Amino acid sequence: MKNLLLTGWLWYIWSHNVVLFLEAWYEVIIFDNLSNSNKETLEKIEKIAGKGKKLKFYEWDLREIWEIEKIFLENTLDWVIHFAWVKAVGESCEKAFYYYENNIVGSLNLFKIMEKYNCRKIIFSSSANIYGPNWISPFFETDQVWDTSNPYGTTKYIIERILRDLHVHNNFSVINLRYFNPIGAHESGLIGEHANQKLGNILPFLLKVANNQQECIEIFWNDYNTIDWSWVRDYIHVVDLAKWHLAWFQYLENNTSIYESINLWTGNGTSVFELLEITREVTSHAIPHKIVSRRKIDIAEAYCSSQKSHTLLWWKAEKTVREAVEDSWNFIKG
């Protein structure tokens, strides 16, 4: 069986993907510096996957190229799925050089070693942030992506362009998966997302308020030109996202010399106040909130067309926003 290297895969989103790849009986090797995760997640992943499945784990950093090469020396690697990032939009505006070093330099190190050891198939974790602030939702893969609004989005754009060059000139096969807003948790309740002020994802904070761990939640202004004046985002269940990764990986297995950029979302937008109301209904708890000043990094609407993915794979997201909230609530309650 061929080996698959997963970078940065113990964090919230990627841990759900590891479960699916183990359940599909792939040989999984994980490379993570634990900056956004911890080793306890390893045990939880193996418990969910069951049947004695074990992960091979390296606690190293992509900025150290010799550490990457050691993995390739010790293992015959055929594919890479690359998720090793720092990814907080707000933080990236404050620490731009830190983001450039981690995301761009680390990726270049990885690509150099991949080429050296003739491992040329990669799925890259891109982002909707590459679409920038001036495009009108829904976003399409054919939209221009150079006008990013924050350093995090800029790093994603730059890496996509580097991979395009590596495809054209160095025979890499590439799939860029552009994410919007994953939410939810595994149905087992063992893995999910906790509130993280740095990342600022809204659902964990709504649930924190519902669970009486926080007094109220801040809503960043309410004068957007949307259905209820709050911003609108495309939320997808993290398990659906994982299934999509597995489907695209199998597509990459069966196709050579390809370069594709793909939106991975439902194609439907949900406003902040709609998400707040769904959370209130699911938890049967009030969600006190207060309106605060709008942030410069925010845009009114960000949702995409998933037409290209549906056309190539004939697959759509299966779980609803309500189901994502229910699974997250189950995880938070422990």
* Residues tagged active-site: 152
Query: Which phi and psi angles does 158 have, rounded to 5°?
Result: -60, -45
DSSP state of 294: P
Bridge partners for 312 per DSSP: none
State how far the alpha carbon of 7 is from the alpha carbons of 1, 34, 252, 267, in Å.
Answer: 19, 11, 17, 28
Q: Give the bridge partners for 4, in sequence order.
A: 28, 79
Tell me how far CA of residue 89 lies from CA of 8, 155, 222, 250, in angstroms.
18, 11, 20, 31
- 3-class state of residue 4 by DSSP: strand
- Using CA of residue 259, residue 262, residue 159, residue 145, what is the dihedral sign? positive
Strands 56-58 and 27-31 come out as parallel
Asked if 71 contacts 29 with a C-beta cutoff of 8 angstroms, the reply is yes
DSSP string, 240-267: HHHHHHHHHHHHHHT--S-EEEEE-S-S
